[in-house]
Amino acid sequence: MRVNKPKPDKAGWEVTGETEHYADDHLAVITEQVRAPSRSHPKAWTTVRRKSAVVIAAMTRDDKLLLVRQERIPIRAALWEVPAGQIDEAEPRLEQIEATALRELREETAHVLASDGELVALGDFFASPGFTDEQEYLFLARPVEPLRDQKIDPEEAIIDCRAFSIAEVQEMIARHEIRDANTLSICARLVARGLIQFVPR
């Protein structure tokens, strides 16, 4: 897939130029001349374009959340995070986004959505919207069940996977042990929507 996809026109936004500095299969660095709706003149802005991704809150039948411990090369650290992964399609339809969420759940946690389970769409968020167009689609999958004879994909940089109670997740966020945007953002959405509860301290 070409990451440097053209941006659709949006009302009030006008693009008058674009220069590509770098591009590979995963990202592209672009300087654009863009006139924002509130402005009379275009402004030069450098953006890193990247594929969209899915982020999954996988809840077990006893209301625990699956977290994976993942070695992250850019920051030289292993973090406890919710499972997530990139969407291959440039302009994905909802079915493709959902299929990616279920695939990443299986590959990263060796769990699947139960036959009586539901996949609840929780909207989206942008990881760093002044810097990149990276967009994450959020899902709650409940309940999930372990797959027999399935192991976590060894190609993934995942060194552990465990189920944590919501109280444990709250404590890990409060202690600054959970510190990635995916996990923090999906927890904010889940709590705001009343799908999980953090207890007053």
The answer to whether 173 contacts a second copy (rule: CB under 8 A) is yes
Residue 7 CB contacts under 8 Å (≥ 6 apart), including other chains: 15, 133
Q: Whole-angstrom Cα distance, residue 146 to residue 19?
A: 47
- The interface with a second copy within residues 67-96 (CB under 8 A) comprises 70-79
Cβ proximity to a second copy: between 82 and 113 the closer is: 82
Cβ proximity to a second copy: between 29 and 112 the closer is: 29
Q: Which of 152, 158, 4 is nearest to 81 (CA)?
A: 158
Which range, of 100-108, 109-117, 140-148, 170-178, touches a second copy by CB under 8 A? Answer: 170-178
Which range, of 97-105, 108-116, 142-150, 188-196, touches a second copy by CB under 8 A? Answer: 188-196
The answer to whether 164 contacts a second copy (rule: CB under 8 A) is no
Distance from the Cα of residue 104 to its chain's centroid: 11
Q: Please, what sign has the CA dihedral across residues 151, 156, 160, 162?
A: negative
Of the residues 64, 106, 142, 189, which one makes contact with a second copy according to CB under 8 A? 189
Question: In this structure, how many other beta carbons lie within 10 angstroms of the beta carbon of residue 20?
Answer: 12
- The interface with a second copy within residues 6-65 (CB under 8 A) comprises 7, 10, 13, 21-22, 24, 26-27, 29, 32, 34, 36-39, 43, 45-50
Name the minimum Å distance from CB 82 to a second copy.
12
Whole-Å CA distances, 85 to 45, 148, 184:
27, 22, 16
Locus of tokens 């139960």: 114
The burial class, CB within 10 Å (0-12 / 13-18 / 19+), for 146 is middle
Q: In terms of residues, how long is the chain?
A: 201
The answer to whether 168 contacts a second copy (rule: CB under 8 A) is no
The answer to whether 1 contacts a second copy (rule: CB under 8 A) is no
* Site residues (vs a second copy, CB under 8 A): 7, 10, 13, 21-22, 24, 26-27, 29, 32, 34, 36-39, 43, 45-50, 70-79, 122-135, 157, 159, 170-171, 173-174, 176, 179-181, 184-185, 187-189, 191-194, 197-198, 200-201
